[in-house]
Structure 1
Amino acid sequence: MWTTITQKGHQKSPSIAGLSQNVPTQRSSKNLPNYAAPSKPDERLFLRIDKDHEWRLAPSGVREILCEHLICIPSDVTHVTRTPTGFALTIKEEEIRQKLLNDSDRISSQGAKLEPASDLITYRIATVPVALRTSSGSVTVDDTNLVAEIIRVTNVAPNMARIHSKTRSGAPHRSWLAHFSREQAPRPGFRLFDESGVAILYKPCQPIPQCKRCHGFHATLGCSRAPAYENCTSTMHSINEYLAPTKYRNCGGPHRSVSRNCLARSSRSGPVSKDQLKTIRQMGQREYHAKIRAEAAAIRAEAAEIFR
């Protein structure tokens, strides 16, 4: 008997189905997936002014000026934020927001414009041919031809189409930007004239920040380094006492710290690596010393001519 049990092994006893197995398990809130909340429409108002406009002095002054011209109280404008084109205003209520939009003509004489947030989607279409070869000859692609081609391909008319960035003269292709309303925007991925690049969602690149205090590649706000002069990056004298030759802080080359031609400057793809920076600094030091030797030789030659 014991031999038979040993050969068959231990048999598990069948479990009895109880009521607890039929009760659905409740998932805790910790295990639930995190779904992103739907994006809300931008209800801000944008004040468009020039770069040299006198209203750019302070956000608090902008609030007072708007309340004076548009006849409202300061508490109606809850937040004022700087933007590259002026200021973004957060309004307390929808009725007040609509009233400010209706009365925005009152500040047009001051060189300012108040408008709602743009509800447009921008697509970038690369490598669009500059000219098309047809049976009647070569036809230059302009905004009219491009809009007609977009309507033919997507059955949607864009609000505006314009050339993106600068194009080298004589180049066979160039890039375009097409602006669509958010509700009628087509899906990205379409091509124009059967040879252009794929239309992709356009996201403007952020500018590369350079500290105005120490000339390093970071934001100026919060910099704790000593102020450096942009010509020689010295922290020991002021601008009026400048005597040292021009020298770049990051690579040691003979150019100013705000020069965009330096190889050590960060690019859109990111900063340079440590190995690349080491090589760039060696090259910059050689250029710097070569320039110093050339200037010293010129000074000696002038002195020799004087004492002849």
Structure 2
Amino acid sequence: MSAQLLNGKELASKKREQMKEKVQKLISQDITPGLAVILIGENPASQTYVRAKQKACADVGIYSKLIERSDRISEEELLNEIDLLNQDPAIDGILVQLPLPSHISEQAVIERIAPEKDVDGFHPINIGKMMTGEDTFLPCTPYGVVEMLKEAELPLEGKHVVVVGRSNIVGKPVGQLLLNENATVTYCHSRTRDMRALTTQADILIVAVGRPKFIKADDVKEGSVVVDVGINRVDGKLCGDVDFDEVKEKASYITPVPGGVGPMTITMLLENTIQSAQQRK
């Protein structure tokens, strides 16, 4: 029995149709949601992501502003760019595309973005609100993962969720969001002893480690739900952190790569930008 696909692409396009209506309503009240993206340097992966974000904005009617700067920009100059956007009434969301050149502090940049325009959900104030279950901008990838699980009507309360990976962008926040949904959450990482003993207990396994086909069939429980957040390029092809062909024979639900979590990340970024514009109203 092969697993059912959790199709992020389909869900993303359904959500974006609903967003078009929300944006039209705001525009009719003289508010056009605006997203500013700052792109530093010429990292091809970053350029691809930024193009996808701009296209998605155009599709739903969000105004997007792209600011491209050389990777020789100083930290101070970048922080000044952010200050200008913080004060710009046409901009509801600010996103600085990561990674940044090594001479610029990621943390300083994240903390400089006004929390009410932090549509990436990375500002410490917004992370703190997420931890305490307050209303705030949620980090886009974890938010997308939880939306996919809810849309598939998969029960979360009381389920054992195992998260492999503990990054500030995916691993930590996705565990917290599922804890907020009353799941029981275990984190695994590079220092975990006997990881398989834990991953095989998972009702829901979320993998975000950036290692191609890291999780095999022997690492998952029969009938579990497997969410693969990884995007790796191997021999010119995209693949996830889960060995899809092996694991799909054992899981009940699984996300494909590409077409799984990826489209949901950008969709939740749009959702956060629209939410910010509604708050401006």
- TM-score tier (shorter): under 0.3
Higher helix share: 2
Of structures 1 and 2, the larger Rg is shown by 1
* TM-score normalised to structure 1 length: 0.22
* TM-score normalised to structure 2 length: 0.24
